[in-house]
Structure 1
Amino acid sequence: MPAVCTRPPTSVVRKLRVTEPALAIGIDIGGTKVAGGLVDESGAVVEQVRRSTPHRTTEPKVVEDLIVEVVEELQDRTAIPVIAVGIGAAGFVGTDRATVVFAPHLSWRDEPLRDTLATRLAAPVFVDNDANAACWAEYRFGNVQGESHVVMVNLGTGIGGAILVGGRIERGRFGIAGEFGHMQVMPGGHRCECGNRGCWEQYASGNALVREARSLIAAGSPLAHDLSDRAGGDPQSLTGPMITEAARSGDPTAAELLAEIGTWLGTGLANLADAFDPGAFVIGGGVSAAGGLLLDPARDSFRRHLAGRGYRPEARIVQAALGNEAGFVGAADLARTAVLRKEDRR
């Protein structure tokens, strides 16, 4: 009878790393999902798993249980040892890269996520902001390879952001750099889940897109006939992908809604260009799947609002290449990089 395979001791893991791929697991925690992937050194996704995130008022342990479930399922799908687990969290991650200080879309407040998970998982755990992870993935394997100065903007439930300078993620003095979604762009505007009003993500995110479309359906607007049909007449059933699909099918209202989000996006990018002067903006997150329907209006708005327009180089605005996989691919690669650097120093 064949022997039962058990997880090898650390010494065996190091030996295997010489001849086997250095596989890492990345986890991307968003406002609505936990996505995980088993990722090799080239950024290729070997296996992936996705789960819906419980409601944001749920106790943190419920989300942590989901993370452990996803990691263990991915570990069970490979006979090669996993050398690290990287977590990309949608929230403010402290300089210790261990604590989620605040998560607007989840009920995490000073949550010691790394240490909690480290007691439950068999590989070293590293925590970072989800947009930092996605930016790293695009820099290593995506559409901004070789670019020295990158700003990433992730349009999902809210807006996440990241800054890369000289091949390094810039995390700021307190670890919270890149939270562009909470820049105030409309004083006294829509209330944001962060507690303030008029944040950028209230005008240029997936939530903003769906909110405006639902309001048209609820008001009985004849302009929203197609969107209402797609949602079965129930505004709450409408989703961002439905709006994007309607726009692609020629619905002018859906296209107009995406263009409005794009206009807000481009205005914000012009402000970020003044602050950071990047060579490229990379736009990721679920809303970026709209492609030119979103990015063409964003580019037009960017050019109209850019200070010194016509007399300065313009940053490229590109769609993220890795799509919904960018967050967990980047988290895995950041974790693998950290482990291998530690090994090199020994």
Structure 2
Amino acid sequence: MPTLGIDLGGTFARAAVVDAAGNVLASAKVALSERSPAGVVETIVQAAAAAKKFAGVEVVGCGVGAAAQIHKDSGVLSVAPNLGWRNVPLGAMLKARLGQPVRVVNDLAAAAWGEFQAGAGRGASDLLVVFVGSGVGSAIIANARLLDGAGGVAGELGHIKVVPGGRRCGCGELGCLEAYAGGHNLIAQTRELLAAGSSPKLVELTGGDAAVITPATLEQAAEAGDAAAHEVYARAAQFLAVAVANQVTVLNPARLILGGGVLTHCPSLRHRVMEGVQAWASQTSREGLLIAEAELGDDSGLIGAALLAA
């Protein structure tokens, strides 16, 4: 029987009806009109109803991928930075509204499971999946099982500390990898350079308009030889590359899957991560390692969440 997958972001809720093979039968997307827990639940219910109506089939369960740290047994979102939530019982709230079992997982766990079952991870039983988008996330599949840890937060690559006491992260802690290499924070650091007037190339690329800055803007300025931009960019790239290389050393995956909007639109950054793995992961851990690009695009989390619910 098909299941329902939900991808909860900071701006939209997406829902899809997915069959057992990972095929999307129908999907719907609804903007979050408000970010209160009750309001978001209603938005998810609207998206779910639309997807089920378009698919014309019944579903037997629901999986939700959310950018949050989640208690695996309760479905409580302990920290959801994009929504400004702490300790929200999303799983219970959705179960009450949908009248079906609901499994809530981290969005990267959902994406990893989607790639494992229906994308770039097919045929491998040990995967490391790293996405760099608005934040930095990773998930681990070991011996064909999703590794979630005692509290459900295993694989939180974005929240390892790279500068103790450093920049404040959206999670509220200091010095996280995400605070230096996540998309939102790359933009924030680039805007700081623009405001300080320390990067002539950024002024040229943006016309002085901070609103047009993307992570790719920083990469372009750095590669054009702008010293200030290069310092910020090179630091982020090295932190990210070393972190991924260390995970490869620790986990010894058969496959490393890279994805997310920042790595897609910043090809040099992606290349630096790949080079870093080859340079800094232990030799034995990278023997036979295949580095692949995520195949399912924006649907990886939807598909994975639905298949986890199954």
TM-score, normalising length: structure 2: 0.87
Aligned residues: percent identity? 34
Q: Is the 8 A contact 2:37 2:90 kept in 1?
A: no
Match of 2:52 among 60, 64, 75: 75
2:10 corresponds to 1:31: yes
Give 3-state SS (helix, strand or coil) of 1:82's partner: coil
Residue number in structure 2 paired with 1:46: 25
- Residues 40 and 288 (structure 1), Cα distance of their counterparts in 2 relative to 1, 3 Å cut: farther
Give 3-state SS (helix, strand or coil) of 2:98's partner: coil
Q: Is the 8 A contact 2:4 2:59 kept in 1?
A: yes
After TM superposition, list the pairs within 5 Å mapping 1:200-211 onto structure 2. 200-211=177-188
The structural deviation recorded for 1:329 is 1.0
Cα distance in 2, alignment partners of residues 74 and 172 from structure 1: 32
The structural deviation recorded for 1:196 is 1.8
- Summarize deviations over 1:233-267 as a string: whole Å, max 9, x none: 43134344x649x85xx9777x9677664433211
Choose 1 or 2 for highest CA Rg: 1
The structural deviation recorded for 1:143 is 0.9
- Summarize deviations over 1:132-155 as a string: whole Å, max 9, x none: 110000101111211121111221
- 1:124 partner letter: P
**Across the two proteins, how many residue pairs are aligned to each other?**
306
Which stretch shifts more, 287-296 or 317-326? 287-296
2:120 corresponds to 1:146: no
Residue number in structure 2 paired with 1:66: 43
Residue number in structure 1 paired with 2:66: 89
- Summarize deviations over 1:16-51 as a string: whole Å, max 9, x none: xxxxxx322211113343222222233222333334
Q: Is the 8 A contact 2:170 2:179 kept in 1?
A: no
2:200 corresponds to 1:222: yes
2:273 corresponds to 1:273: no
Q: Is the 8 A contact 2:72 2:151 kept in 1?
A: yes
Residue number in structure 1 paired with 2:109: 132
Q: Is the 8 A contact 2:138 2:158 kept in 1?
A: yes
Give 3-state SS (helix, strand or coil) of 1:77's partner: helix
Cα distance in 2, alignment partners of residues 178 and 198 from structure 1: 17
Give 3-state SS (helix, strand or coil) of 1:126's partner: strand
Q: Is the 8 A contact 2:253 2:285 kept in 1?
A: no
Cα distance in 1, alignment partners of residues 147 and 269 from structure 2: 27
Unaligned runs of 5+ in 1: 1-21, 338-346
- Residues 270 and 225 (structure 1), Cα distance of their counterparts in 2 relative to 1, 3 Å cut: same
Q: Is the 8 A contact 1:152 1:283 kept in 2?
A: yes
Match of 1:313 among 287, 291, 297: 287
Give 3-state SS (helix, strand or coil) of 2:181's partner: coil
Match of 2:163 among 158, 162, 186: 186
Q: Is the 8 A contact 1:189 1:198 kept in 2?
A: yes
2:297 corresponds to 1:323: yes
Give 3-state SS (helix, strand or coil) of 2:97's partner: coil
Unaligned runs of 5+ in 2: none
Match of 1:169 among 128, 143, 146: 146
The structural deviation recorded for 1:228 is 0.9
Residue number in structure 2 paired with 1:283: 258
Q: Is the 8 A contact 2:74 2:89 kept in 1?
A: no
- Summarize deviations over 1:194-235 as a string: whole Å, max 9, x none: 222110111221123212332333334321145414xxx431
Match of 1:297 among 247, 253, 272: 272
The structural deviation recorded for 1:189 is 1.4
After TM superposition, list the pairs within 5 Å mapping 1:149-160 onto structure 2. 149-160=126-137
- Summarize deviations over 1:279-314 as a string: whole Å, max 9, x none: 22212222232263332111112223224x489626
The structural deviation recorded for 1:87 is 0.6
- 1:322 partner letter: L
- Residues 267 and 222 (structure 1), Cα distance of their counterparts in 2 relative to 1, 3 Å cut: same
- Cα RMSD after superposing both structures: 2.9
- Summarize deviations over 1:302-341 as a string: whole Å, max 9, x none: 223224x489626333221111111111001111x2xxxx
The structural deviation recorded for 1:158 is 1.6
Cα distance in 1, alignment partners of residues 286 and 209 from structure 2: 48
